[in-house]
Amino acid sequence: MTMIAPTPTGTPVLLGDLPSRRPFGARVLNFFVRQPIGSIGIVIVVLFGLAGIFADWLSPYNPTSNDFAAMTESPSWAHWLGTDQLGRDLLSRILFGARTAFEVGLTSALIGGFSGLVIGVASAYFGGQLDLWLQRVLDIVMSFPLIIMALAVVSIFGTGVQNVIAAITIPLIPRCARVVRSSALAIREIPYVDAARACGYGHTRIILRHMVPNVMAPFLVIVTAFVGQAILAEASLSYLGLGVQEPVPAWGLMLQGGAEEYATTAPWIAVFPGLAIMLTVFGINLFGDALRDVLDPKMRER
């Protein structure tokens, strides 16, 4: 039922309007009320994100400086999470590690996601030969083992954060393109696209104004999931020695070498960085699930 109600400013507003018409702040508030579990996810992610941004101020020690008088020390008031085999403070390294994780995770997810969006929508909209060939290329990249791709990228261009991002981004592109293409294919069949074409609009306008906004829901959900996957991939690559290199603090790197060697005498070296990875990705996944419930009306009733 629609009613007209007066507002303090005197302009009438339609009550029971579409949810998307409400101001952004109200929608965010609504999300927090409706999705308590997803909100926990956001809180976790924001905490780790802030830890990464303000690592310089928050860290009690320099993450790369060694203290050979305090090697493999158990958690104490001086070192909340203990120290590693080189006497570096684990808490400081985890805080700075959050920066590396989010840098790699967000950049890979955004670049991979946008490239996938462009390829997916173009593939669905233009169809025909272009679609056929793009799909074959995506097939190849998708079936190719990530580890070989990463090894090759690292061997060709060297290690370093940018190259790790490149190695992780490439396999994300086809996964996003697949999802976007299948929703875009369904949208292309809806008459308003034909109507837009009949109005004489160009391809760019139809794609940007009529197709892209309608594939935003699955796109946002998959990009959120990508952030978590990219953080996990970076950790695995760094653990294998193919990702971020010393002395840059990174969670996967912290689990390499020392973690296994000192597993019995100093288990905190192995436990805390892993917990940091798990909690962050857990938070992202909780948020992603809630986002999907909100954006997908079919899931909303559940």
Q: Using CB under 8 A, list all residues that contact other proteins.
A: 136-137, 139-140, 142-149, 151-152, 155-156, 228, 232, 235-236, 239-240, 252, 255, 259-260, 263-264, 267, 270-271, 273-274, 277-282, 284-286, 289, 302
Nearer of residues 184 and 255 to other proteins, judged by Cβ: 255
Nearer of residues 128 and 145 to other proteins, judged by Cβ: 145
Residues 6+ apart with CB under 8 A from 147: 240, 242
Q: How far is the CB of 83 from other proteins (least distance, A)?
A: 18
E-strand stretches of 197-279: none
Q: How far is the CB of 302 from other proteins (least distance, A)?
A: 6
Nearer of residues 20 and 264 to other proteins, judged by Cβ: 264
Nearer of residues 35 and 61 to other proteins, judged by Cβ: 35
169, 110 in Cβ contact below 8 A?
no
- Residue 162 tokens, joined: 């940018």
Q: How far is the CB of 176 from other proteins (least distance, A)?
A: 16
Residues 242 and 302: their CA atoms lie apart, in Å, by 43
Q: How far is the CB of 148 from other proteins (least distance, A)?
A: 6
Backbone angles phi, psi at 158, to 5 degrees: 90, 165
Nearer of residues 184 and 286 to other proteins, judged by Cβ: 286
Name the burial class of residue 129, with classes exposed (0-12), middle (13-18) and buried (19+) by CB atoms within 10 angstroms of its CB: exposed
Residue from 292, 158, 280, 178 nearest 229 by CA: 280
Residues 205 and 260: their CA atoms lie apart, in Å, by 56
The pairing of beta strand 13-14 with beta strand 4-5: antiparallel
- Residue 267 tokens, joined: 């288990």
112, 199 in Cβ contact below 8 A?
no
Q: How far is the CB of 160 from other proteins (least distance, A)?
A: 16
Please report, as a single letter, which amino acid is at residue 200: G
Nearer of residues 38 and 52 to other proteins, judged by Cβ: 38
Q: How far is the CB of 140 from other proteins (least distance, A)?
A: 4
